[in-house]
Structure 1
């Protein structure tokens, strides 16, 4: 005969641990006492359990059945035990069978945050094993399982019959709608001890539609960060390689090191082997990657020297590392080597040492030792360059070892005030073969059949006709400089900055004077081993006087700036092998540089020079602002270093070669939040014609991102650039929905049509000379496309989908013969993995070393 007891208030088992209710869902180590009338503990009851084993039961009603030996907690039941919480409308404990049955809105919250819900739980009294009907599991990482029925055994294995797994959250408006993707399987087995989930007879569904069938698969659960097993496959398809599938296998050898083996099976070339070793130590980490293949069809590639068609084995080795000697000092490296310049691109090998532009690529290997403090910086490193495009020659690439830089600043030295700075640089490099360039000379079309021809006068170096981009042999330089400057503000707000420096350079040149021009040997006349030095003192003063004005529509600061620096003439400019000062761009950014406008140490500004300008800064409201700078540079005395070209003519055609330089200007304007206008220009000081223009406009919100870029650079014939360069880029993206974004971009070569017409004139002259048919005049306009790209992206909490198309049009001037068109696809399913695929369409340029289409 059953007996019922109703509590007036919520019942807490913690206040009656030895009562007849104490065995309700009791686990190991819980003290049980025999119940007595009225629910009072019997005399001699066991001592309470430890706090971590204590069970707390909260319910509206308790129902005892002495015949069946059951106790039922009814109404808003909540049980807390060993970090777990069970909730239900009704919980029944069967003492004889030691089973717990939870009925109605049943819910278990595990100690790790996982939430298990179902219509009915039938579990052992320690919650470890049992059956659950209409199961739903939500893990802390928001992955989800569901099944009509599931079994839990050994406290760690879940078996979901007709189970469903997904990492997607349910639709808020319609929770019953299938998620974006899910895995539906005959059985899903989750073994916690193995941290692995197994799927049997599985199919992957998108929006409820089956898309792929997988008889058997497995993967780590949400608690795993590293686990041995297969990673997501990689796919590739090109005409030179065929169709390929890469199957990465990850070996978790230890918590701090692992190995990944990736065999890629290619239908045309065989098996490409790849291995990656990663190792993390207490003070840093390093990686080693190696790739290699014995090509089965060498005929897919062009023969040497245009391609790797003569090579049976091709491969690469790459390594990176960084270690912390102490909080201030690090040592590291990033190095890569390949058997040929085309390997990385042909076989889609990742190379972190890439330096990539539209047409020119190279692999840069370096090793370094670096130290930093709040007032000092030290860097020692070496470089090795491997060209990856067909224009460059390996023997003309320098091996740079070492490059040492040391900077030290002392703030407010007691005897001077201001700031004292020490700089040291040591650079040494070797090169097997000198790099020569002939200056192109304008010729008559009808006489030569060519708009420009190479001046045939560099068999022996002639400064007026030849450029030397790099000497062969060994070139070394050591530089040391000490400089001081101080800001002084007078009573009326004027800012005076005196400056002084002393610099010394020592050069050691041991040249091999021969180089290659047009497949023949050229030499540098009158060049021999020599050691020489250079000393360059300088004194200077900068003056600034900001004027501030406030109006109803903003705050304005107008600041005139004037700077004068006096130095003796630069010496030995033609003897210096200019290696690090070849790039000289005179603009508003370096107008007031104390060290001059040269980009490196090999060249130094000489003479007395004044730089003047005016700076405007305006603030309008909370978001809008404007910043403008305009200025000019003047050679006041001594020899103008920018009018005295070196072996490479650096300085000529820079806008600084005359006593009154070109005018430079820079502007930054933001009329509203997210909208930016930037521009820079260099204007001829006499005609005010633009010699250089860089302009861009960007607009960005959460929905729309757009940018327009324009650049135009006038010819620099003294530097070997006879034609104007002009381009326009348009890029944008649009958030169509909260998850979908489309993007597009195009780059126009606005100068290409001139080159096409120049080629026509050459062909026209040749046709007249040969009395053949006159070619058709090109009708293309200035908007010649250089590259285009399109893309669509979908991103949500569980999925990333991206597909893109890009096309790079052949640059005939650089030697390319065919356009490059590529389609790339990537699908990432959170927790399951990522699938990527790329496909080249149509032809590729001969610069890839590929024969035929790819």
Structure 2
């Protein structure tokens, strides 16, 4: 019979203040006293004290020395979750100091440190002698871990959560790899700590073989800095950096690099990217972005990013239920081959105020918008000297005032009749363009009437079908004052704007003329969890006003047919296809996207076809296929494959293959990628990357989900 001995509290802890948190609980099969000074507990002994838990076979307490003599097997778990296993121990009465023999310490159920003896001092330091440390699962059939660190001594600072190794030898599969007389590493419970991070290997055809060795600086609880030297056989000398800081009202992050290499001898190269978000009073938010680079090829040469248009600026926004406010000013800089930034809008500023309301007498829903926009080109030429269709130095400012209203009426037969109008007034100030006067004022009204008739059917199986035919008539004038079109050059016709007042994406162009929009949507929802939706529509015009190009599918008195299909099921499959084609089934646009993810296999793929259209800067047809796939071979192995293929050029634009191995103690990433495209500033390039992370050091490398089970 097991006994809970309350009287033992005074004997075991008589020298401690008798506060509640200082009392201990002892549970054992047998407890007896030897004289007045020695107490012994035997048989499934358990001691609970200040969040710590000790289990053993036998404990003897000597009140003269305040020492616990413990016979194992011993298991000691402290309040931080650190587990100590040992055969025997001599500990102080509060278990914070003492010596343990044949001891093993387990940190956060990940990192194991086995030693011949262990000493606990000051309730903070644990010293282990002749240590083997690893987070790898060791099984009797394969007792050699994937990696291990052998050391003469290891000190664990429980307060700072650091491990200090003396004479450390790192081994992989039992083979010594390197030796360090002193080594410091964070324990698994520490989220942030200054020190070296795991190195990575990068090899490219342009830079040769190279290695990156990052060092992390924890600058307080809210800031950190990572410096990463990068050297390669092609004599690149690069220092990468990342700075992060969190504030009570926001955060910011900057990344960048400085480089001297043989690609551009004698030049200092580099880049700087930054971003931040902050909360301001009265529900406003501030965001900023910084993007700058020394030369057009740097980002691709060093695998930083595929971005080809840099944006730097600041934006202030506020979003409420019926209100949206945005003010932004940005500088744009193109690094695309062939672009001349002097003839592109470089400095752009916008202010938008949008307010939604319900008119008192009209009912329905109205919207009011005030918008200003301005941009500046650095060129002083007031004509189209480079023959690209845009005046080289044209600067422009615009103020727009727009109001619209819409209301629905439901008839007794379920039909929904809608009516609405929109009125837009624009004031333009145009500089450095001989084709336009200095100022232009434009007013564009529009009105519409719409009829919808939704039908719903429920099948015996529980599936629901919804079909909704829609017809809409929109009127607006056939002509208006001519202004430059800067923000509506490319128009996309889809199911989202089939019934809009205007299908132009910006404010410089408004859709004109009387048109008749028709469409029908059908959706089936199955109780098994899958759904299928189809939308079809077309636009008919009273007159062809020549506003749209062939690629938009909206040119002529009748547009191309729009057909969009969406499907998804519970097995992880999603499909979307959107096509524009004329009566002869000649396609102007076709877009297909497929996604599948069942946990073991995942793939996303897309295909895009676009007809040639000089108005959109596309002199030949475009036909591209992109994909990104992954396969989890086992719980530990994963392969990836990605690429992009240009059918018109009959070549791949980019391809990549990757392999990852991950278990409870290590993560290994291998990747090989090839960029096939080249230009005057960028050459085709092949890149190989190798990254290794040891799980069990620091909070960001938790491998417990990959822990294996030993086979008998």
Would the TM-score normalized by the shorter structure come out above 0.5? Answer: yes
Match of 1:532 in 2: 440
Summarize the alignment of residues 393-792 of structure 1 with structure 2, pairs less than 5 Å apart: 393-410=340-357, 412-433=358-379, 466-469=387-390, 471-511=392-432, 526-527=434-435, 529-552=437-460, 554-573=463-482, 576-594=483-501, 596-636=502-542, 640=545, 643-644=546-547, 651-670=549-568, 673-685=571-583, 687-753=584-650, 784-792=651-659
Q: CA deviation at 1:163?
A: 1.7
Change in Cα spacing, 1:366 to 1:213, as seen in structure 2 (3 Å) is same
SS of structure 2 residue aligned to 1:188: strand
Match of 1:204 in 2: 170
Match of 1:757 in 2: none
Contact 1:355 1:364 in 2 (8 A): no
Match of 1:758 in 2: none
Match of 2:11 in 1: 23
SS of structure 2 residue aligned to 1:416: coil
Contact 1:728 1:749 in 2 (8 A): yes
The 1-side partners of 2:676 and 2:234 are apart by: 27
Change in Cα spacing, 1:253 to 1:720, as seen in structure 2 (3 Å) is closer
Mapped pair 1:830 → 2:695: yes
SS of structure 2 residue aligned to 1:612: strand
SS of structure 1 residue aligned to 2:188: coil
Farther-moved stretch of structure 1 (531-540 vs 667-676): 667-676
SS of structure 2 residue aligned to 1:468: coil
Mapped pair 1:316 → 2:213: no
Gaps of 5+ in 2: 701-712
Farther-moved stretch of structure 1 (725-734 vs 622-631): 725-734
Q: CA deviation at 1:271?
A: 4.2
Match of 2:26 in 1: 57
Summarize deviations over 1:273-331 as a string: whole Å, max 9, x none.
Answer: 445443333222334455434x3x6xx33xxxxxx45x533333443222211361111
Mapped pair 1:143 → 2:111: yes
Contact 1:470 1:579 in 2 (8 A): no
Contact 2:449 2:473 in 1 (8 A): yes
The 2-side partners of 1:53 and 1:740 are apart by: 50
Match of 2:708 in 1: none
SS of structure 1 residue aligned to 2:374: strand
The 2-side partners of 1:168 and 1:435 are apart by: 68
Match of 1:93 in 2: 61
Summarize deviations over 1:566-614 as a string: whole Å, max 9, x none.
Answer: 11124234xx2222111212233321223x1111111111111111011
Instruction: Give me the CA root mean square deviation.
Output: 3.1
Contact 2:337 2:681 in 1 (8 A): no
Q: CA deviation at 1:264?
A: 4.0
- Residue-pair matches, total: 699
SS of structure 1 residue aligned to 2:389: strand
Q: CA deviation at 1:667?
A: 0.7
Q: CA deviation at 1:481?
A: 0.6
TM-score (norm 1): 0.76
SS of structure 2 residue aligned to 1:328: coil
Mapped pair 1:127 → 2:95: yes
Farther-moved stretch of structure 1 (231-240 vs 144-153): 231-240
Aligned with 1:283 (options 240, 245, 249): 249
Summarize deviations over 1:719-739 as a string: whole Å, max 9, x none.
Answer: 443322223345432221112
Q: CA deviation at 1:828?
A: 2.0
The 2-side partners of 1:27 and 1:111 are apart by: 23
Match of 1:342 in 2: 297
The 1-side partners of 2:51 and 2:141 are apart by: 30
Aligned with 1:110 (options 74, 78, 97): 78
Q: CA deviation at 1:669?
A: 2.5
The 1-side partners of 2:579 and 2:30 are apart by: 84
Summarize deviations over 1:125-150 as a string: whole Å, max 9, x none.
Answer: 22122221222223336333222322
Summarize deviations over 1:606-650 as a string: whole Å, max 9, x none.
Answer: 11111101111112341232111111101125x63xx14xxxxx6
Q: CA deviation at 1:367?
A: 0.8
SS of structure 1 residue aligned to 2:102: strand
The 2-side partners of 1:219 and 1:671 are apart by: 47
Match of 2:705 in 1: none
The 2-side partners of 1:138 and 1:459 are apart by: 73
Mapped pair 1:385 → 2:378: no
The 2-side partners of 1:165 and 1:537 are apart by: 76
The 2-side partners of 1:623 and 1:400 are apart by: 49
SS of structure 2 residue aligned to 1:580: coil
Q: CA deviation at 1:77?
A: 1.2
SS of structure 1 residue aligned to 2:219: strand
Mapped pair 1:820 → 2:706: no
Q: CA deviation at 1:504?
A: 0.6
The 1-side partners of 2:512 and 2:465 are apart by: 36
Change in Cα spacing, 1:194 to 1:677, as seen in structure 2 (3 Å) is closer
Higher Rg of the two aligned structures: 1
SS of structure 1 residue aligned to 2:299: helix
Match of 1:807 in 2: 674
Summarize deviations over 1:10-48 as a string: whole Å, max 9, x none.
Answer: 041x3454xxxx333x37524xxxxxxxxxxxxxxxxxx
